[in-house]
């Protein structure tokens, strides 16, 4: 569950055999567990069609919380007069249940079926790149709020540390530590810092430099002008690129140690894109620090 500005508020691992709350299906029960500390405060929760249902809307309304979201047309107890009605472009139809739950259908390039406990069938004009357009208020707020989790997912995809070879629990740990936590830290920094917003890559680099401490200087040594480096000084630098592609070689010291121990060195030695200019050998950071 995310806020409007992409801050991840709560997180739950899907256990397959999760228990459903009385009167709710499993997706609705998951949503209530994620939002439990926020219920009863007059907030609005925006959901996609996997979670939205009439029982969930009724449950949240009884807990002084509004619901707005897209809903699947085959959900139980939806008014057929709305779900089966054929609309032309920019037309809408709505029906209210129990005086508080509105089911609205609006046709743009395709049909959008909405359920809301805080909107009727009112519409407003919004400014787009090609002019103004009339949209239902429920759709406008849904698009404005739902972008929070979409942006969080987009940021998590940039420079992702996840790998296919990781077991599931390691993937969960990596996702929480290096994606969710970093996005949240960036979100707080951009809101409070005076220097202006930073990108996801900058946020990751800033946190890595703090964690690495003095070791982080080795990654920047190639940026130091050669005139201030002593001719006999050992330092790591990136391998020159070939047609814009990063070049990698096997670490010479890793290869030597593995071969000495009898391993198949060509398969086990670490591949790196750094080398020691003085030694003229490819070295990983660990072997460089050990040797020099």
* Tens-place pLDDT, residues 149-187: 999 999 988 888 888 888 888 889 988 988 999 999 999
Closest CA to 276 of 230, 237, 227, 231: 237
At 272, which helix (H) or strand (E)? strand 271-272
- From CA 275, how far away is CA 77, in angstroms rounded? 67
3-state DSSP assignment of residue 60:
helix
Check: CB of residue 106 under 8 Å from CB of residue 115: no
| Out of 46-60, 85-99, 265-279, least confident range | 265-279
Kindly tell me if the per-residue pLDDT of 216 is higher than 80.
Answer: no
Region 277-288: what's the mean pLDDT?
84
For residue 290, how many C-alpha atoms fall within 13 Å in the half-sphere facing its CB? 10
- From CA 155, how far away is CA 145, in angstroms rounded? 17
Kindly tell me if the per-residue pLDDT of 9 is higher than 90.
Answer: yes
Q: Where are the domains of the chain?
A: 26-151, 158-223, 227-291
Angle between helices 181-192 and 137-157 (to 10 degrees): 110
At 186, which helix (H) or strand (E)? helix 181-192
Check: CB of residue 273 under 8 Å from CB of residue 238: yes
Look at residue 221 in the predicted model and tell me its pLDDT. 42
146 is written with which tokens? 């739902």
- From CA 140, how far away is CA 123, in angstroms rounded? 9
Find tokens 């996997």 and name the residue: 50
Q: What is the DSSP code string of 200-232? A: HHHHHHHHHHHHHGGGGGGGGGGGS-GGGS-TT
With 0-12 / 13-18 / 19 or more C-beta atoms within 10 angstroms meaning exposed / middle / buried, residue 285 is middle
Question: Tens digit of pLDDT for each residue in 24-37?
Answer: 999 999 999 999 99
Look at residue 232 in the predicted model and tell me its pLDDT. 58
Q: Is the pTM of this model over 0.85?
A: no
Kindly tell me if the per-residue pLDDT of 281 is higher than 70.
Answer: yes
Look at residue 178 in the predicted model and tell me its pLDDT. 87
Look at residue 209 in the predicted model and tell me its pLDDT. 83
For residue 162, how many C-alpha atoms fall within 13 Å in the half-sphere facing its CB? 16
Check: CB of residue 3 under 8 Å from CB of residue 144: no
Work out the pLDDT band at 229, boundaries 50, 70, 90: very low
Check: CB of residue 121 under 8 Å from CB of residue 132: no
Question: Tens digit of pLDDT for each residue in 69-125?
Answer: 999 999 988 999 999 999 998 899 999 988 889 999 999 889 999 999 998 888 898
Between 176 and 244, whose confidence is greater? 176
Kindly tell me if the per-residue pLDDT of 219 is higher than 80.
Answer: no
Work out the pLDDT band at 239, boundaries 50, 70, 90: confident
State the chain's maximal CA–CA distance in angstroms.
83
Laid out side by side, the sheet with 66-70 consists of 44-47, 66-70, 111-116, 101-107, 92-97
Kindly tell me if the per-residue pLDDT of 56 is higher than 70.
Answer: yes
């Amino acid at each position: 569950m995310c806020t409007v500005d992409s801050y991840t508020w709560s997180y739950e691992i899907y256990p397959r055999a999760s228990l459903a709350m009385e009167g709710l299906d499993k997706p609705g029960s998951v949503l209530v567990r994620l939002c439990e500390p926020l219920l009863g405060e007059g907030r609005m929760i925006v959901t996609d069609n996997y979670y939205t249902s009439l029982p969930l809307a009724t449950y949240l309304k009884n807990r002084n919380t509004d619901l707005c979201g897209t809903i699947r047309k085959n959900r139980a107890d939806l008014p057929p007069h709305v779900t089966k009605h054929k609309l032309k472009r920019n037309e809408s139809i709505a029906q209210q249940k129990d005086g508080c739950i509105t089911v609205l259908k609006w046709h743009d390039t395709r049909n959008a079926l909405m359920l809301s406990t805080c909107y009727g069938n009112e519409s407003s004009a919004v400014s787009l790149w090609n002019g103004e357009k009339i949209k239902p208020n429920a759709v406008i707020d849904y698009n404005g709020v739902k972008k929070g989790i979409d942006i969080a997912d987009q940021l998590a995809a940039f420079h992702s540390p996840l790998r296919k070879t990781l077991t599931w629990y390691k993937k969960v740990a990596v996702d929480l530590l290096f994606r969710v936590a970093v996005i949240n830290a960036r979100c707080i920094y951009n809101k409070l810092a005076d220097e202006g917003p930073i990108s996801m890559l900058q946020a990751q680099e800033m946190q890595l430099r703090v964690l690495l401490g003095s070791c982080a200087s080795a990654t920047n040594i190639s940026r130091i002008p050669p005139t201030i480096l002593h001719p006999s000084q050992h330092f790591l630098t990136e391998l020159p690129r070939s047609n814009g592609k990063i070049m990698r070689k096997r670490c010479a010291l890793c290869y030597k140690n593995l071969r000495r121990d009898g391993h198949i060195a060509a398969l086990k030695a670490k591949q790196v894109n750094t080398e020691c200019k003085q030694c003229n050998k490819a070295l990983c950071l660990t072997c460089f620090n050990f040797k020099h």
